[in-house]
């Protein structure tokens, strides 16, 4: 019986509150949860709790940042295509989050997203990788970051779906760590009768987990130089965008940032800002002061308007450097499952606890070779965050249709008629990475009657 040790540890670390629920557990549950308690890093928990009392605020002097380039460069695109052909690029897709705002118990990547085929987000990204590989006539690699909550389910989902056509050599999974979640008073709590509430430790885990799980070494041996970073919940993210890759390589960057223009001051997007020494950094939305959010220039436009959509490119050497650095933990208020001592826990409507997350962009302070390229929002950003309203499946499907319409027009070289524009349809991903053969086959063609269009 480990109760004695558990009680001692909880009392010493100021977590005696937890004993109330611990003592309600059965003998076996006490053993299971007790072992989790004994394995916790209580110094880390104390510093997490402390950070709630001293929240970080935006105190430093920052200035509006300007992009080094705007999307639309043929030169970058050609450089990027050559790099893809030479297998210099790999893509990381982060999918370790809990998707709590979507109110689904399944991993976000399972979400049926596309208009006609109802492809899941995972299938969509897998097929992007296959289509980009066909364009480059090679087999490009993709690595998916999962977490304790969804790792097994994700691997099984891919296996059951025959990896959506990806070859074993193309696909890797790596799992990020989790950290305890604290309630609003800074106490540990249970999410079930057998588990302390834990949550993945943020997308900043990408560097260490990528290294520790051996993918860095394998990709380095394969000659990969540039790694893109995409989030599973942005189906417009292009992990093999030749122009972005070309931008990164042509400018010899450690970090490239794809950005868009912010629409309104209170839009929930992080800001890309410039520091005194001219280098770029990102401030998370929740940590931007009201002054920065709203400041305007003499024309009444937002002064800080360059927004972060969490789409990045990294040099492999930067990733290795970042993996050696301890990134800070940021608390964020979220709605998480709490076990009430009786029934299976559900996610409440309002935030009830703090998750602690490392931010991928905190590592950007390590380099001065960092630049941003500005894209049109509708080309690159339509996140799936919420169950309804803004950034929900309705807005995502609308964006995917618009994206397919534009891709069809690019391939055929003719604008869609009003009637064609009113049709709901879906393109195979090959149209987004068109080969010369595909373009010559479809040149001048009108929209075919079938709703799912493959080459
Ligand atoms: P978000 O924090 O915006 O969404 O992560 P979420 O965690 O999926 O959903 P909520 O906040 O609980 O509703 C944005 C992206 O970063 C990944 C997510 O999978 C998503 O692609 N992410 C987030 C991780 O991979 N690990 C994390 O620890 C957190």
Q: Where are the domains of the chain?
A: 59-391, 392-455
Checking if the pLDDT of 343 tops 90, the result is no
Mean pLDDT (whole number) for 42-71: 86
Contact assessment for residue 424 and residue 401, using Cβ atoms and an 8 Å cutoff: yes
Alpha-carbon gap, residue 249 to 80, rounded angstroms: 8
For residue 398, the model assigns a pLDDT of: 97
Question: Which pLDDT value is given to residue 151?
Answer: 98
| C-alpha to C-alpha distance for 261 and 272, rounded to whole angstroms | 10
Average pLDDT over residues 276-305: 91
Q: 82 alpha carbon to ligand 1 midpoint, in Å? A: 32
Atom of ligand 1 nearest to the CA of 94: 25
Q: What integer pLDDT is reported at residue 311 of this predicted model?
A: 98
- Given a contact cutoff of 8 angstroms between Cβ atoms, the answer to whether 144 and 154 are in contact is yes
% of the chain exceeding 70 in pLDDT: 98
Taking the centre of ligand 1 as the mean of its atom positions, its distance from the CA of residue 411, in whole angstroms, is 34
- Structure confidence at residue 1 as a pLDDT band (50, 70, 90): low
- Mean pLDDT value across the chain: 95
pLDDT over threshold 80, residue 310: yes
- Give the residue carrying structure tokens 């695109």: 77
Q: How confident is the model at residue 55 (pLDDT cuts 50, 70, 90)?
A: low
405 close to ligand 1 (CB < 6 Angstrom): no
Q: Quick check: helix, strand or coil at residue 237? A: coil
Which segment of 47-51, 98-102, 371-375 scores lowest on mean pLDDT? 98-102
pLDDT exceeds cutoff 60 at 57: no
Six-digit token pair at 323? 């993996």
> Which CATH superfamily includes the segment(s) 59-391?
Spore Coat Polysaccharide Biosynthesis Protein SpsA; Chain A (3.90.550.10)
Is the pLDDT higher at 347 or at 209?
209
Dig out the tokens for 277 from the structure: 């020494």
The residue-averaged pLDDT of 293-297 equals: 90
Pocket residue to mutate for ligand 1, from 104, 154, 203, 356, most atoms within 8 A of Cβ: 203
Report the percent of the chain where pLDDT is more than 90. 87
Give the residue-averaged pLDDT of 28-34.
95
As a whole number, mean pLDDT of residues 137-162 equals 97
Q: What pLDDT is recorded for position 337?
A: 87
Work out whether strand 226-231 and strand 89-94 pair parallel, antiparallel, or are unpaired. parallel
Helix pair 242-250, 74-85: axis angle to 10 deg: 90
Which of ligand 1's atoms lies nearest the C-alpha of 232? 21
pLDDT above 90 for 58: no
Please report the pLDDT score of residue 106 as a whole number. Answer: 93
Segment (H or E) for 278:
none
Residues 115-119, mean pLDDT to the nearest whole number: 98
Residues 6+ apart with CB under 8 A from 38: 2, 5, 6, 9
- pLDDT of 116: 98
Q: Calculate mean pLDDT across residues 325-341.
A: 90
Q: Is 107 in the pocket of ligand 1 (CB under 6 A)?
A: no
Q: Is the predicted pLDDT of residue 78 greater than 70, yes or no? A: yes
Cβ of 98 less than 6 Å from ligand 1: yes
At 60, list the tokens.
């430093």
| Reported confidence tier of residue 190, pLDDT bands at 50, 70, 90 | very high
């Amino acid at each position: 019986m480990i109760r004695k040790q558990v009680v001692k540890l909880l009392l010493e670390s100021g977590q005696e509150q937890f004993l109330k629920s611990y003592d309600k557990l059965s003998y076996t549950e006490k053993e299971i949860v007790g072992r989790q308690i004994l394995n916790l890093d209580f110094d880390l928990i104390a510093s997490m709790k402390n950070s709630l009392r001293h929240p970080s605020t935006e105190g430093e002097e920052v200035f509006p940042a300007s992009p080094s380039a705007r999307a639309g460069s043929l030169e970058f695109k050609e450089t990027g295509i050559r790099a893809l052909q030479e297998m210099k690029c790999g893509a990381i897709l982060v999918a370790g989050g809990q998707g709590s705002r979507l109110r689904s118990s399944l991993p976000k990547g399972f979400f049926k997203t596309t208009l006609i085929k109802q492809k899941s987000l995972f299938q969509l990204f897998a097929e992007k990788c296959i289509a980009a590989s066909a364009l480059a006539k090679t087999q490009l690699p993709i690595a998916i970051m999962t977490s304790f909550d969804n790792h097994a389910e994700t691997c099984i989902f891919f296996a059951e779906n025959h990896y959506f056509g990806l070859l074993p050599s193309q696909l890797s999974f790596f799992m990020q760590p989790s950290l305890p979640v604290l309630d609003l008073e800074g106490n540990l709590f249970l999410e079930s009768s057998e588990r302390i509430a834990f949550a993945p430790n943020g997308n900043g885990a990408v560097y260490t987990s990528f290294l520790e799980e051996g993918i860095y070494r394998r990709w380095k041996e394969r000659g990969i130089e540039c790694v893109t970073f995409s989030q599973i919940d942005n189906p417009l993210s292009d992990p093999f965008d030749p122009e972005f890759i070309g931008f990164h390589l042509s400018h010899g960057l450690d970090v490239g940032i794809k950005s868009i223009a912010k629409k309104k001051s209170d839009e929930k997007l992080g800001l890309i800002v410039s520091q005194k020494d001219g280098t770029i950094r990102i401030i998370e939305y929740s940590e931007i002061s009201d002054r920065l959010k709203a400041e305007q220039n003499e024309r009444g436009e937002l002064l800080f308007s360059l927004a972060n959509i969490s789409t990045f490119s990294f040099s492999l050497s930067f990733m290795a450097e970042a993996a050696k650095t301890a990134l800070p933990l940021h608390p964020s208020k979220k709605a998480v499952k709490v076990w009430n001592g009786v029934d299976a826990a559900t996610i409440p409507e309002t935030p009830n606890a703090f998750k602690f997350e490392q931010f991928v962009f905190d590592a950007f302070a390590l380099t001065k070779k960092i630049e941003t390229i500005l894209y049109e929002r509708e080309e690159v950003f339509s996140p799936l965050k919420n169950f309804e309203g803004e950034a929900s499946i309705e807005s995502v499907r609308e964006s995917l249709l618009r994206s397919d319409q534009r891709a069809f027009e690019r391939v055929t070289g003719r604008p869609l008629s009003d009637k064609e524009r009113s049709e709901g349809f879906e393109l195979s991903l090959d149209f987004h990475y068109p080969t010369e053969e595909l373009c010559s086959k479809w040149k001048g063609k009108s929209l075919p009657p079938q709703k799912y269009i493959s080459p």
